């Protein structure tokens, strides 16, 4: 495998993939191990011309990549960002393939994106761009084919526009085309905080195995994932000592009153400007002597320069790829346990699967039903990753990759492709 996807997970993957592929033989015939997972099955690209509010026309490059569909329809979000590229979408589509397999939902992996700076376009331009995306790609997606969802800078509202556009083109109601929709269009209860709840469930399972009751936690990132996770862990009796957003953070060694903070902070605020709080920088937060450090913001936050200063016993990766390759190697040989992103933040895609199930069966679940099912899926995935790490004598990250890749390859084998 020689996909250069540029982070530590990929490096682990390359190693793991070769091991797993070497083990799978078909009647003595060796399939070229470089081919089966090296490239995406289908890549669709478009240059979307968009009429701007002032009457001019601008072109926006757009992508949809279906990396692997051996286990089911491909699944993955659509990102609106100025740095979106085909390479990035490919990498994320690959990660979705493995993540869906780790939690054992019957989906493959895909991803989409538009190269656009969303802060530079108006709301009406954003709506037209969302609808144009669907017009350009509707032939290739579908509830049994490829099911998009929100990602960076796309949200429930955009999923609503996209669902509407898709249903208009097809001339019938097909809510299973997208997940992360508004409840009024068939969205699932519990979806908005599913990633955070999934992470909390995984952490509690780990703590239970280690016979640890209550932990001190620092969380970097106070957006959808970080703020919901802070609330859930606070409700479960853990002590949140520090939280931060892009501008900086706050610390209280006695424990932050998260409910109070939740009420005051509207997400566009600035944590460090809140009154009567002790400030802390993002750099300092990552280096705190806490039981659990939760990076829930952006990638590459723990790197070669700060890894030696990390004092937390456990890192719960809620952001995608928050630890670099170099830092991961250092952590592997330290006392810090890393609970990897493809397990820790898989609650979102799991409830997306529940949303799709509800859409295609036309039967809608209560919030309690959703959350109970999420717990069952996350606990099972945690136990299986743990078991794999014991059997294959490796860390949790490698174990998660082994488990996911094994499942994808099993499906490829059953299809006669291996």
Of 18 and 272, nearer to ligand NAD (C-beta) is: 272
State which of residues 37, 258, 294, 296 lies at the interface with ligand NAD (CB under 6 A): 296
Residue 246 binding ligand NAD, by CB under 6 A: yes
Alpha carbons 161 and 129: distance in angstroms, whole number: 10
Of 15 and 223, nearer to ligand NAD (C-beta) is: 223
Residue 318 binding ligand NAD, by CB under 6 A: yes
Of 99 and 128, nearer to ligand NAD (C-beta) is: 99
Of 284 and 410, nearer to ligand NAD (C-beta) is: 284
Alpha carbons 47 and 55: distance in angstroms, whole number: 18
Question: Total residues at the site for ligand NAD (CB under 6 A)?
Answer: 20
State which of residues 9, 12, 68, 320 lies at the interface with ligand NAD (CB under 6 A): 320
Residue 300 binding ligand NAD, by CB under 6 A: no
For residue 280, give every residue at least 6 positions away whose Cβ sits within 8 Å of its Cβ, in sequence order, or none.
242, 244, 248, 249, 250, 251, 288
Q: Angle at CA 79, nearest 5°, toward 63 and 76?
A: 80
Q: Footprint of ligand NAD on residues 330-369 (CB under 6 A)?
A: 345, 348
Q: Angle at CA 220, nearest 5°, toward 4 and 246?
A: 85
Pairing of strands 292-295, 314-316: parallel
Alpha carbons 30 and 150: distance in angstroms, whole number: 39
State which of residues 244, 350, 359, 389 lies at the interface with ligand NAD (CB under 6 A): 244
Q: Give the nearest distance from C-beta 170 to ligand NAD in angstroms.
A: 27
Query: Catalytic site residue 111?
Result: yes
The number of C-alpha atoms within 13 Å of 309 and in the hemisphere containing its C-beta is 12
Residue 251 binding ligand NAD, by CB under 6 A: no
Q: Give the nearest distance from C-beta 316 to ligand NAD in angstroms.
A: 11
For 91, 269, 365, the CA distances from 222, given in Å and listed in that order, are 25, 10, 29
Q: Give the nearest distance from C-beta 382 to ligand NAD in angstroms.
A: 16
Of 225 and 338, nearer to ligand NAD (C-beta) is: 225
Two structure tokens written together for 315: 């890192």
Burial 64-82 (b: 16+ CB within 10 A, else e): bbbbbbbbbbbbbbbbbbe
Instruction: Write the binding mask 190 to 229 for ligand NAD: x where contact by CB under 6 A, - elsewhere.
Output: -----x------------------------xxxxxxx---
Phi and psi for 276 in degrees, rounded to 5? 55, 40
Q: Give the nearest distance from C-beta 247 to ligand NAD in angstroms.
A: 7
For 18, 32, 36, 119, 405, the CA distances from 26, given in Å and listed in that order, are 16, 11, 14, 52, 17
For 7, 10, 185, 237, 345, the CA distances from 320, given in Å and listed in that order, are 10, 12, 28, 26, 8
- Reported as type and span, the H/E element at residue 379 is helix 367-391
State which of residues 298, 330, 337, 379 lies at the interface with ligand NAD (CB under 6 A): 298
Residue 297 binding ligand NAD, by CB under 6 A: yes
Phi/psi zone of residue 340: left (φ > 0), alpha (ψ -120 to 50 degrees), beta?
beta
Of 21 and 194, nearer to ligand NAD (C-beta) is: 194
Q: Footprint of ligand NAD on residues 256-295 (CB under 6 A)?
A: 282
Q: Give the nearest distance from C-beta 47 to ligand NAD in angstroms.
A: 26
For residue 172, give every residue at least 6 positions away whose Cβ sits within 8 Å of its Cβ, in sequence order, or none.
none
Q: Give the nearest distance from C-beta 222 to ligand NAD in angstroms.
A: 4
Stretch binding ligand NAD (CB under 6 A), from 17-25, 37-45, 122-130, 313-321: 313-321
Q: Which residue among the candidates 75, 90, 91, 111 is catalytic per the annotation?
A: 111
Q: Give the nearest distance from C-beta 180 to ligand NAD in angstroms.
A: 8
Position with the least CB separation from ligand NAD: 223
Of 99 and 136, nearer to ligand NAD (C-beta) is: 99
What is the contact surface with ligand NAD in residues (CB under 6 A)?
195, 220-226, 244-246, 282, 296-298, 318-320, 345, 348
Positions annotated as catalytic residues are 111
């Amino acid at each position: 495998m020689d996909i250069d996807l540029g982070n530590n997970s990929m490096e682990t993957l390359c190693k793991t993939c070769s091991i797993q592929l070497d083990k799978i033989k078909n009647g003595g015939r060796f399939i070229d191990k470089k081919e089966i997972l090296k490239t995406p099955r289908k890549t669709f690209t478009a240059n979307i011309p968009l009429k701007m509010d002032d009457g001019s026309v601008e072109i926006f490059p757009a992508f949809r990549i279906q990396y692997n569909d051996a286990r089911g329809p491909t699944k993955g979000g659509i990102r609106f960002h100025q740095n979106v590229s085909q390479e990035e979408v490919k990498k994320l589509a690959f990660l979705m393939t493995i993540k869906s397999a780790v939690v054992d939902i019957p989906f493959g992996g895909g991803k989409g994106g538009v190269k656009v700076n969303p802060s530079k376009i108006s709301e009406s331009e954003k709506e037209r761009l969302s609808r144009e995306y669907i017009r350009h790609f509707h032939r290739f997606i579908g509830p049994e084919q490829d099911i998009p969802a929100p990602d960076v800078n796309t949200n429930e509202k955009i999923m609503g526009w996209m669902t509407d556009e898709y249903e208009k083109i097809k001339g019938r109601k097909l809510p299973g085309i997208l997940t992360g929709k508004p409840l009024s269009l068939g969205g699932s209860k519990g979806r908005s905080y599913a990633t955070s709840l999934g992470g909390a469930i995984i952490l509690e399972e780990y703590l239970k195995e280690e016979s640890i009751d209550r932990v001190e936690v620092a969380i970097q990132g106070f957006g959808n994932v970080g703020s919901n996770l802070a609330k859930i862990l606070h409700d479960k009796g853990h002590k949140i000592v520090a939280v931060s957003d892009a501008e900086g953070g706050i610390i209280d060694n006695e424990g932050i009153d998260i409910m109070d903070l939740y009420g005051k902070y509207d997400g566009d605020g600035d944590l460090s400007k809140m009154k009567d709080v002790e400030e802390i920088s993002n750099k300092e937060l990552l280096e705190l002597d806490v039981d659990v450090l939760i990076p829930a913001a952006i990638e590459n936050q723990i790197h070669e320069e700060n890894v030696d200063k990390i004092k937390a016993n456990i890192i719960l990766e809620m952001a995608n790829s928050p630890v670099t390759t170099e830092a991961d190697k250092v952590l592997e040989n330290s006392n810090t346990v890393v609970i990897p992103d493809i397990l820790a933040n898989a609650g979102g895609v799991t409830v997306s699967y529940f949303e799709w199930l509800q859409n295609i069966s036309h039967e809608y679940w209560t919030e309690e039903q959703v959350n109970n099912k999420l717990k069952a899926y996350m606990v099972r995935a945690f136990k299986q990753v743990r078991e794999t790490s014991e059997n294959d004598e490796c860390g949790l990250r490698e174990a998660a990759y082994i488990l996911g890749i094994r499942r994808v390859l099993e499906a490829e084998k059953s299809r006669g492709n291996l």
